[in-house]
A = this chain, B = another copy of it.
Amino acid sequence: MDVVTQAKTTSVPGRMYRGESHAARKKERQDKLSAAALEIIGTEGFKAATVRKVCREAGLTERYYYEAFGNAQGMLKLVYEQQIGRLASTLYEAVNSVEQTPTAMAEAALTSLFGAIKKDPRMARVIYIEIVGVSEELDEVYRKGQRRFDELLVKLSKPLYPEENTADLDDLLMASALVGAITQVSRDWVLANFDRSITALVNNMMALVVGVITHLQTRRPAR
């Protein structure tokens, strides 16, 4: 009935608890839950990451699962975006910490990528395997995530070849293809339990990248 006082009492976000604000507690819970979700999705797969299981792993109850994720897709989306974000930072850092020549940068990025994958295969499983084919919404999230790396690649390689040579080509498409190549190799590598050395992977992928760039540099304009 009394809308005004209702609004007053319920509009307050929350009170302190154990010395922390509502927002701080909420964030802590989300961190715990997404760490638990990463662990389960990254080792047993998305299907295995049930509400109860994630909550038990996190040491929290179902209420906070819904607070943090809303639903299972929200959980996967959040974990995916966290991992993609971390990886992108790692790669940017690697690229910026070497001499600014194209091959050095490419090599740094690749080494850093494969290193990150080996260091935390759960991440690779989430961003390369589990995210795919769950729902239309998540497929769209995945595409957006991949495009991040496409754009990084375009930015790195754009200075390397004259614009007019590529009138009939499509930067983003080529970048997406290269990222796809690297992704595929990464996926195989994970699924094969790291059966090769990082150097071998980097050397091969460098041949691919340099091959494409060289091709773009030297080709005649398309008929």
On chain B, the residues within 8 Å of A125 by CB distance are: 133
- CB of A215 within 8 A of CB of B204, answer no
- CB of A133 within 8 A of CB of B169, answer no
Residues of A bordering B, CB below 8 Å:
45-47, 125, 129-130, 132-135, 139-140, 143, 146, 168-170, 173-174, 176-185, 187-188, 191-192, 196, 200-201, 203-205, 207-208, 210-216, 219, 222
A207 to chain B, nearest CB (A): 6
Given A173-B204, A215-B215: A184 and B185 interface contact (C-beta under 8 Å)? no
How long is the Cα–Cα vector from A176 to B200 in the complex, in angstroms? Answer: 14
How long is the Cα–Cα vector from A215 to B208 in the complex, in angstroms? Answer: 8
What is the predominant secondary structure among interface residues of chain A facing chain B?
helix
On chain B, the residues within 8 Å of A222 by CB distance are: 203
Tell which of A133, A174, A176, A200 has the most Cβ of chain B within 10 Å. Answer: A133
- CB of B169 within 8 A of CB of A203, answer yes
- CB of A139 within 8 A of CB of B191, answer yes
On chain B, the residues within 8 Å of A188 by CB distance are: 143, 146, 176
Partner of A181, one of B140, B146, B168, B180: B180
Excluding A174-B204, A211-B212, 10 further A-B contacts by CB distance (< 8 Å) are A45-B135, A125-B133, A129-B133, A173-B200, A177-B181, A177-B205, A180-B181, A211-B211, A212-B212, A215-B215
4 nearest CB pairs, A to B: A180-B184, A211-B215, A181-B181, A177-B181
How long is the Cα–Cα vector from A129 to B8 in the complex, in angstroms? Answer: 50
How long is the Cα–Cα vector from A171 to B211 in the complex, in angstroms? Answer: 15
- CB of B212 within 8 A of CB of A207, answer yes
Tell me the nearest residue of chain B to A166, going by C-beta.
B207
